Amino acid sequence: MRYATSPKPKIAIVGGGFSGAAVAARLLRSTKYDVEMIESRPRVGPGLAYGDAQPYHILNVPAGRMSFWTERPRHFLEWAKRNGPELGWPEAAMAEAHSYLPRELYGFYVAEQLERTDREVSEYHGRRLLHRRATAMTLDHDRDVFRLALDNGESVRAEAVIIATGHGRPTRSWQVTGRGAAYVEYPWSKEATAHLNSVAPVLIIGTGLTMVDTVLRLKREGHCGHITAISRHGLMPRRRGDSEACVLELGVREASFGVRCLFEAAREAISRNRGDWQAVVDGLRPISEHLWSALSLTEKRRWLRHVQPIWNVHRHRMPEESAETIAALIAEDRLEVSACFVEEIEMSGMEARVRLRPRGTTRSRTHTFGRVINCTPGRSDLASMGSPLLADMEKKGLARANALRCGLDCDESGALLDALGRRLSGAFALGPMRRGLLFEASAVPDICCQADDLAQVVAAFLSSDDRQPKERDVHAIGLAR
Ligand SMILES: Cc1cc2nc3c(=O)[nH]c(=O)nc-3n(C[C@H](O)[C@H](O)[C@H](O)COP(=O)(O)OP(=O)(O)OC[C@H]3O[C@@H](n4cnc5c(N)ncnc54)[C@H](O)[C@@H]3O)c2cc1C
């Protein structure tokens, strides 16, 4: 991959994680334009989920459903069988469609797909993928031309821009005061476990799959002190079973269709399936977008507030091996999971004093930990995501939060809506940034479908009659290089 500049880039993608890589590869294959990708990481493709994983972190979707290419569902599986052993995973040679393979291996796969596509199209068609190692800070739009200003002082000019900036920073509703290294905001960083006394008590904020990964990492790295994991509801992911998804025929039958109706229908389906809730949860997946789009805004808010935490622990389940380890740690009283709120964290040298309030009580107590690791999900509210680019776009009216305040507002094709709700011609969003409009916007199979459609939408947009290059206009507003 080159680090050059193109005299006239057409498509700019902000974010080089899985979403950016998926749409870039499709655009390179199906359009005649160069693609410029802005990403501060040295390697594009794996992103947060697959770039920061340890060898023992396992995918939570089976290999048979993790292909980079929608039209070749077994592509990842076949690649892993061929390349896994050479890359240090001999067991991958025996993988089957239902096997759960390492996330790190998947990161190699994604990076290779993008690099290979880039090589092929540049050799045979002269199109290129240009990686700019930088962070996009601001976006301007004038007469069909976008200009992204980067943190290294450069700028990128494009006629279509795709925002694929992924997950926001972890959620934080508490104050952190004092100085020291005992509080870690990013669970995948080296600092999360660096210089940790092996018997020091650890607090993990968040009880989802990131907590599970962090507990496994602490154990692997020799930590044997007590771990407390807390969240609003104190719910942990369920253990993954062998159930096959059942076929559900939940129709949107009534005008009053809502969360309550859904709950009742799901309960009926579980009892029809002799209590097999996993089959029902998985059976909901093919129809979840349809059901989500049928809910009113009020009902969607009810779902997010009251049902989402319960849904998450049933939908995003723990691999068998991880579940065994977690259960053993709980049984040995080395891991405790509870429903608590963090009120304040005060760092002092190698320790952090944390004021915690158990759910359902008004009295808080202060506890001391050797490390506090924030494993809460990424923020989705634009205002608190900590992205200068998104804040700038919102300030200039080029983008707005969606009605649920959990991502960018866009239409069904992924086109961004501006502050007044009008299509911002040529600007699109992809991946977790489409949460809210879509029920499932983050898993690989969902992102691949979004990327397939978006590549076509962008290609059609750039080749449409009213999208001929307007050099005169460009010079007039001083954006041409
Ligand atoms: C830990 C974890 C494990 C997962 N496991 C699975 C799994 O097993 N199976 C599955 O189907 N799904 C899984 N997912 C979900 C899914 O695959 C990810 O959500 C997906 O990888 C999202 O990719 P992304 O590119 O949208 O976001 P990210 O991976 O977050 O990438 C976004 C990129 O944008 C860059 N960026 C952000 N802002 C800017 C800016 N202003 N300028 C330039 N660059 C910017 C960031 O540096 C980052 O690299 C997992 C998610 C996580 C977090």
Q: Where are the beta strands (DSSP E) in 350-461?
A: 351-358, 365-369, 371-374, 415-417, 423-429
- What integer pLDDT is reported at residue 405 of this predicted model? 87
Domain boundary among 270, 295, 315: 315
Contact criterion met (CB below 8 Å) for 11 and 430: no
CA 47 – ligand 1 centroid, Å: 5
Q: Are residues 148 and 232 in the same domain?
A: no
Residue nearest to atom 23 of ligand 1 (CA): 18
How many structural domains are present in the chain?
Answer: 3
- What integer pLDDT is reported at residue 250 of this predicted model? 67
- What integer pLDDT is reported at residue 140 of this predicted model? 97
Secondary structure of residue 161 in the 3-state scheme: strand
Domain boundary among 298, 315, 332: 315
- What integer pLDDT is reported at residue 261 of this predicted model? 83
- What integer pLDDT is reported at residue 55 of this predicted model? 87
**17 Cβ closer than 6 Å to some ligand 1 atom:** yes
Q: Is residue 180 part of a domain?
A: yes
Q: Are residues 207 and 341 in the same domain?
A: yes
Q: Is residue 5 part of a domain?
A: no
Residue nearest to atom 50 of ligand 1 (CA): 49
- What integer pLDDT is reported at residue 467 of this predicted model? 61
**51 Cβ closer than 6 Å to some ligand 1 atom:** no
Q: Is residue 36 part of a domain?
A: yes
Distance from C-alpha of 218 to C-alpha of 193, rounded to nearest angstrom: 7
Q: Are residues 466 and 455 in the same domain?
A: yes
- What integer pLDDT is reported at residue 477 of this predicted model? 29
pLDDT along the chain (481 residues), means of 10: 50 97 96 93 95 89 96 97 96 95 97 96 87 97 94 96 90 89 92 95 96 95 97 94 76 69 85 88 87 91 90 90 94 97 94 97 96 90 86 95 91 96 96 90 94 95 66 33 27
- What integer pLDDT is reported at residue 173 of this predicted model? 85
User: Ligand 1: which atom is nearest the Cα of residue 46?
Assistant: 29
- What integer pLDDT is reported at residue 378 of this predicted model? 81
- What integer pLDDT is reported at residue 251 of this predicted model? 62
Distance from C-alpha of 430 to C-alpha of 39, rounded to nearest angstrom: 15
- What integer pLDDT is reported at residue 167 of this predicted model? 84
CATH of the domain at 356: 3.50.50.60
CA 42 – ligand 1 centroid, Å: 15
Q: Are residues 140 and 160 in the same domain?
A: yes
Q: Looking at beta carbons, which pairs linking 268-274 to residues 24 or more positions away fall under 8 Å?
A: 273/246
Question: 2: how many CB neighbours lie within 10 A of its CB?
Answer: 11
Q: Which domain holds residue 300?
A: 259-315
Residue nearest to atom 2 of ligand 1 (CA): 49
- What integer pLDDT is reported at residue 254 of this predicted model? 57
Distance from C-alpha of 113 to C-alpha of 128, rounded to nearest angstrom: 14
